[in-house]
Amino acid sequence: MSRIDSAFFEIGSLDTLAVLDTPLHRLDPRAKVITTLVFILCVVSFEKYQLSALLPFFIFPLVLVGSGRLPGIFLLKKLLLIAPFAFFIGIFNPFFDREILFYLGSVGISGGWVSFASILLRFTLTVSATLILIATTGFSGVCMALEKIGAPRVFTIQLLFLYRYLFVLVDEAQRLVRARALRSFKGRGTGMAVFGQIVGQLLLRTIDRAQRIHLAMRCRGFTGEIRQLRKIHFGHAELLFTLGWSGLFVALRCWNLPEMLGAFLLELAR
């Protein structure tokens, strides 16, 4: 349990990176959200055996980490934390797909291994882009941008509140589990029945809290719309950022740069 919550609370520390003040942090959140979406779309839309064409995409996270003065090692650790999910999604490919695609020296590489590697690459690219987005924009900034772009307000408010109260909920769950642990002995008291009751208890507490929060919001004039003071401005810098990167992604999606480079070098060597 303790490992899960320490990992969980690190999500909050990712968010604190968003208070840094670099040109990248100052960009309108919308520019960063749109660019990241284009990036993810381009990366996931490759066919499943694609490897080489994915490599140039690493320029995006690398440049952003550099210009946003983000701690690369820290982001890498976050990435590793989520990596098992991608690993288990792809690990069965090598067993099912045994057709040899090419030879590396004398070792035949099957399609399964290639698609497995491709999944891992895509995972690294998309998740690091998302982590960087949150680290440079902050979760509330992302929600605000989504709303401005046209996502339904109900959805963005839900997301904002989910994020705000996840911490409280985890804290509450943790206390319940601790209270159970202190009074269960030799596995007695830790069974499914008690677990069900704890979950029910948590639900009831959550409903109670939701009611109190709603009351607090109503007391301060809430009418269904969250107003924020921060002015955001989509200017030249934002336009340049969005179009520049998106253009590059689309170009990299259409033309396989490493392959072209390889062909060019072979041509030269001839």
Cβ(86)–Cβ(105) below 8 Å: no
For the window 19-38, what string marks contact with another protein as x by the rule CB under 8 A? x-------------------
Q: How far is the CB of 96 from another protein (least distance, A)?
A: 45
Is residue 160 close enough to count as binding another protein by CB under 8 A? yes
Under rule CB under 8 A, which residues in 35-64 are in contact with another protein?
A: none
Under rule CB under 8 A, which residues in 119-148 are in contact with another protein?
A: 138-140
Q: How far is the CB of 247 from another protein (least distance, A)?
A: 32
Q: How far is the CB of 70 from another protein (least distance, A)?
A: 18
Is residue 204 close enough to count as binding another protein by CB under 8 A? no
Q: For residues 73 and 229, which CB has a smaller minimum distance to another protein in the complex? A: 229
Calpha distance 66→69 (Å, rounded): 5
Cβ(145)–Cβ(156) below 8 Å: no
Calpha distance 90→122 (Å, rounded): 11
Cβ(81)–Cβ(7) below 8 Å: yes
Q: For residues 95 and 222, which CB has a smaller minimum distance to another protein in the complex? A: 222
| Tokens, residue 37 | 């979406």
Which residues fall within 8 angstroms of residue 238, CB to CB, at 6 or more apart?
Answer: 27, 28, 30, 31
In terms of Cα–Cα distance, which of 30, 35, 37, 42 is closest to 64? 35
Q: How far is the CB of 220 from another protein (least distance, A)?
A: 4
Of the chain, the end-to-end C-alpha distance in Å amounts to 61
Pairing of the two strands 107-110 and 100-104: antiparallel
Q: How far is the CB of 219 from another protein (least distance, A)?
A: 5
Instruction: Please pick, from the candidates 220, 233, 236, 270, the single residue that binds another protein as defined by CB under 8 A.
Output: 220
The C-alpha angle with vertex 143 and arms to 175 and 65, in degrees rounded to 5, equals 90
Is residue 218 close enough to count as binding another protein by CB under 8 A? yes
- The H or E element spanning position 255 is none
Calpha distance 42→37 (Å, rounded): 9
Q: For residues 79 and 169, which CB has a smaller minimum distance to another protein in the complex? A: 169
Instruction: Please pick, from the candidates 183, 188, 227, 270, the single residue that binds another protein as defined by CB under 8 A.
Output: 227
Is residue 222 close enough to count as binding another protein by CB under 8 A? yes
Q: How far is the CB of 145 from another protein (least distance, A)?
A: 13
Instruction: Please pick, from the candidates 193, 229, 254, 268, the single residue that binds another protein as defined by CB under 8 A.
Output: 229
Is residue 209 close enough to count as binding another protein by CB under 8 A? yes
* 121 bridge partner residues: none
| Tokens, residue 89 | 């999604």
Size of site (CB under 8 A) for another protein = 31
Query: Which parts of this chain interact with another protein (CB under 8 A)?
Result: 12, 15-16, 19, 138-140, 160-161, 163-165, 167-168, 209, 212-213, 215-223, 226-229, 231
